[in-house]
Structure 1
Amino acid sequence: MGNEHKVFKLKKALYGLHQAPRAWNAKLDETLLSFRFRRSPSEHAIYTRWNGEAQLVVGVYVDDLVIIGASCDDIKHFKKEMADAFKMSDLGLLRYYLGIEVRQSARGTLISQGAYAAKILERSGMAGCNPCQVPMATRLKLSKMSTEPLVDATAYRSIVGSLRYLVNTRPDLAFAVGYVSRFLEEPRKDHLAAVKQILRYVAGTKSWGLRYERKKEKQVQLTGFSDSDFAGDVDARKSTTGVIFFLVNSPITWQSMKQKVVAQSSCEAEYIAAANAACQGVWLARVLAEVHGSAPSVPMLKVDNKSAIALIKNSVLHGHSKHIEVKYHLVRESAEKGQINVEFIRSEEQLGDVLTKPLGKVKFHEFRAKIGLVDVRGKYSKAQEEIVVNGSLARGFPIPLL
């Protein structure tokens, strides 16, 4: 009694409190820096350490760590350092991480979310549905002003939210999932029908994922594709940006999003999309340079609109571009400084097209293959897999998980 107006002062952060994640991150950061790691200035979740010519890279997601290195001895030494500092579990070679399945061999790495996709289908009652060839019908247009009957908003949001996480390994779903995400506030029957088509497509491709081949190249090329439709949103008349970046021939980041402003022409829409791509490309180049310990290479950005390219390379603001918001002129500044190279590409070869609009079956399957999506089921037989020696592959990079 008499202590009703007093509070407890915590001497250490407790699990579950709002400040606990920040306290844990500060402790982990302090510990890794004491182990002579260097935190990436561009991406604070990446730490690197050099031991002569051998490099160790640590990726952090809350309390899950992925270690990448060329030397098993360095990895074992680091795991011992971490075991002395924290109570930890060594899960061995990376096979499953945050719902993403990882398969490694001497030829490359495959990532997929087959088990997660199966759970989505089961929870939505679509486990036994008939599969379809494309995630969205060509020329499909949906509106928030639809007069169709309302559907269960909670169930709709749950399914779409689950599909959004599936996009982490499925760039072919990025546009369709982003499109149906625009109707979360008041979903209707026609919106749900579009979601069910996505689920039917997932049912036929749930074992698909991305392939990353192992290549020995001193200088890797970062290549981006930037594309946009024009006024594809029937309600706000805004356009959709599609951006995808490849490291050599493998996709490492992709984005499909509705633009924040209304573009007055296809040139302006492509210019805005290129500005978003430039931001991503410059950042990726910096991160790669910090990991490799070298000067950043200049990323290549491919755009299929010659007017937009002329606007990027022309530093004179004229009547057709002076109304464009200042932040989108970053792409022009990046091109002038040599931080990014912009090149023209024909629309038939624009891989970003799959992120801006629903495509027909033939073109969609063609672009899906070019992006790097493959059926990971049975891709590497046991006879073809390399023997795992001391927690690492006989050839390639060992990637254990803490």
Structure 2
Amino acid sequence: MKAPPGLSNPSGKVCLLQKSLYGLKQASRQWFAKLTSELISQGYTQSKNDYSLFLKTVGSFITIVAVYVDDILITGNDSQGISQLKSHLDHIFTIKDLGKLHFFLGIEVGYTNSGISLTQTKFTRKLLSHCKIQDLKLAVTPLPQNLKLHQMEDALYHDPTYHRTMVGKMNFLTHTRPDLAFTVQHLSQFLQEPREPHVAALHHALRYIAATVGQGILLNSSGQLILQAFSDSDWAACPNTRRSVTGYVLMLGCSPITWKSKKQSTVSKSSSEAEYRAMYSAASEVAWMVRLLQELQVPTIKPVVLHCDNMSAIHIARKPIYHERTKHIEIDCHFTREKVLEGLIQLTYLPTSSQLADLVSLFFLMAFAWIKHPTEAKIIGYFYVVQIIKQFHLALPWNSQIESSLHHLFEDNSPSQDTLEMNL
């Protein structure tokens, strides 16, 4: 590298770089290559399903190393192997041992008798400190009910950078907040030219985040390690392109481990086709997750139950006899059928009222609009929220703010706190 300004260098010599991590385009790649070689020299193997994951198995003992640039997590049941690895890395790189995991990449880790909670409270408060809202009134839903944002409605927002920055930060928040997955997906479609209604929807989402600052997920320590998937779609949800939205959630035992909300790449001719495409996305995630869990020596978890609330899509995946209805669907979407025949996936019908993937495929509180009687809608809606909290084990402690927010949403038809705690 060239000599820095101010350094006397009459002969025009160059500097030999001994160590650098930041500032150079190839620095992180070279660092990872060096770290990988050191881990392999200690008997670790690089995972083929996640290249930032390294494993070492000795008999019944296993040591797991997860790497993100220069932040490293080490876990396993081989305490001696973990100590030896830390000593070796400290000798080569001079590392700093931070002890038991409590904070990693903005995610706060808490330990309870029920399991491990993952939250982003500090990041959430920092996010809210940058929002341009004069009166931060709390909201109980991520988006207004029945909201449909259009590409070319109303005037352009004067500061598009603000909209892009806030949506980008909310995207990072979805690592522990599956309830924000659909909202972020919806707002991300208008980053190029955000308009006034788009920013208004963003501010509504920020008010919801302000009402649920400490919310996260709970990795439950009880129950069997059974992997199951939930897939759903919102047919023709986008008013601009008429494309559907795919949503899926994977649960390991009682804990959510991966989820996604994404607009489909093409228009679906029917709701069954949209559901079939959503099943394809969920099946792909299941195949990857099964391979990863097998590397981590998780006991046999096949077949994985894939829940879907559309019988037509299930029949299409099970029996290749709907040629006239499926001949236009891309070949890769039939990946689900192949995995069913292999025995990796078992398709099961699930009523819409119990579909957890609604949380990431569409805004689940929109279901109220489809019920004719307002009183019935509020009662059913309240218990639907309770079910979401229970099924996802959201790390959301009961407090007076949550109680008043739910009572405000459902007025006088909401059950008492004792009823909620009994359902939870």
Corresponding residue number in structure 2 for 1:69: 76
Q: CA deviation at 1:108?
A: 1.2
Q: CA deviation at 1:313?
A: 0.6
1:281 aligned onto 2:286: yes
Corresponding residue number in structure 2 for 1:145: 152
Question: Which residue among 67, 84, 87 is the counterpart of 1:80?
Answer: 87
Q: Can you list the C-alpha shifts for 1:37-84, whole angstroms capped at 9, x where unaligned?
A: 122111111111123322111111111111112243332222112112
Q: CA deviation at 1:147?
A: 2.4
Q: Mean Cα displacement is larger for which, 74-83 or 194-203?
A: 74-83
1:96 aligned onto 2:100: no
Q: Which aligned pairs between 1:290-301 and structure 2 lie closer than 5 A?
A: 290-292=295-297, 297-301=302-306
Question: Which residue among 274, 286, 289 is the counterpart of 1:269?
Answer: 274
Question: Which residue among 132, 137, 141 is the counterpart of 1:130?
Answer: 137
Q: Which of structure 1's runs of 4+ aligned residues deviate more than 6 A? A: 6-13
What secondary structure is seen at the aligned counterpart in 1 of 2:329? coil
One-letter identity of the residue aligned with 1:373 = L
| Contact 1:208 1:377 survives alignment (8 Å) | no
| Contact 2:227 2:301 survives alignment (8 Å) | no
Question: Which residue among 198, 204, 215 is the counterpart of 1:208?
Answer: 215
**Distance in structure 2 (CA, Å) of the matches to 1:128 and 1:352:** 33
What secondary structure is seen at the aligned counterpart in 2 of 1:351? coil
Structure with bigger RCO (C-alpha 8 Å, 6+ apart): 1
Question: Which residue among 99, 114, 128 is the counterpart of 1:107?
Answer: 114
Corresponding residue number in structure 2 for 1:337: 342
One-letter identity of the residue aligned with 2:168 = G
One-letter identity of the residue aligned with 2:150 = S
Q: How many residues align?
A: 371
Q: Mean Cα displacement is larger for which, 303-312 or 79-88?
A: 79-88
**Distance in structure 1 (CA, Å) of the matches to 2:150 and 2:390:** 31
TM-score by length of 1: 0.87
Q: Mean Cα displacement is larger for which, 186-195 or 206-215?
A: 206-215
One-letter identity of the residue aligned with 2:357 = G
Question: Which residue among 218, 228, 242 is the counterpart of 1:237?
Answer: 242
**Distance in structure 1 (CA, Å) of the matches to 2:155 and 2:385:** 29
One-letter identity of the residue aligned with 2:387 = E
**Distance in structure 1 (CA, Å) of the matches to 2:166 and 2:259:** 21
Q: CA deviation at 1:125?
A: 3.7
Corresponding residue number in structure 2 for 1:222: 227
Corresponding residue number in structure 2 for 1:159: 166
Q: CA deviation at 1:151?
A: 3.5
Corresponding residue number in structure 2 for 1:400: none
Which 5+ residue runs of structure 1 have no aligned equivalent? 1-5, 379-402
| Contact 1:285 1:298 survives alignment (8 Å) | no
1:353 aligned onto 2:358: yes
| Contact 1:231 1:239 survives alignment (8 Å) | yes
What secondary structure is seen at the aligned counterpart in 1 of 2:325? coil
**Distance in structure 1 (CA, Å) of the matches to 2:234 and 2:223:** 37
| Contact 2:156 2:193 survives alignment (8 Å) | no
| Contact 2:154 2:197 survives alignment (8 Å) | no
Which 5+ residue runs of structure 2 have no aligned equivalent? 1-11, 366-380, 400-424
1:29 aligned onto 2:36: yes
Corresponding residue number in structure 1 for 2:311: 306
Q: Mean Cα displacement is larger for which, 358-367 or 319-328?
A: 358-367
**Distance in structure 2 (CA, Å) of the matches to 1:254 and 1:318:** 31
One-letter identity of the residue aligned with 1:49 = K
**Distance in structure 1 (CA, Å) of the matches to 2:67 and 2:91:** 18
**Distance in structure 1 (CA, Å) of the matches to 2:309 and 2:323:** 22
What secondary structure is seen at the aligned counterpart in 1 of 2:362? coil
Q: CA RMSD in A?
A: 2.2
TM-score by length of 2: 0.83
| Contact 2:231 2:247 survives alignment (8 Å) | yes
Cα distance change, pair 7–228 in 1 and its aligned pair in 2 (3 A): farther
**Distance in structure 2 (CA, Å) of the matches to 1:297 and 1:9:** 57
Cα distance change, pair 131–327 in 1 and its aligned pair in 2 (3 A): same
Corresponding residue number in structure 2 for 1:384: none
**Distance in structure 1 (CA, Å) of the matches to 2:15 and 2:240:** 52
Q: Mean Cα displacement is larger for which, 365-374 or 178-187?
A: 365-374
Corresponding residue number in structure 2 for 1:192: 199
What secondary structure is seen at the aligned counterpart in 2 of 1:85? helix
Q: Of Structure 1 and Structure 2, which has the larger fraction of its residues in helix?
A: 2
| Contact 2:228 2:306 survives alignment (8 Å) | yes
| Contact 2:223 2:254 survives alignment (8 Å) | no
What secondary structure is seen at the aligned counterpart in 2 of 1:373? coil
**Distance in structure 2 (CA, Å) of the matches to 1:276 and 1:114:** 31
One-letter identity of the residue aligned with 1:327 = D
**Distance in structure 2 (CA, Å) of the matches to 1:346 and 1:42:** 33
Corresponding residue number in structure 1 for 2:378: none
What secondary structure is seen at the aligned counterpart in 2 of 1:141? coil
Q: Which aligned pairs between 1:36-51 and structure 2 lie closer than 5 A?
A: 36-51=43-58
**Distance in structure 2 (CA, Å) of the matches to 1:293 and 1:244:** 19
| Contact 2:154 2:196 survives alignment (8 Å) | no
Cα distance change, pair 267–8 in 1 and its aligned pair in 2 (3 A): farther
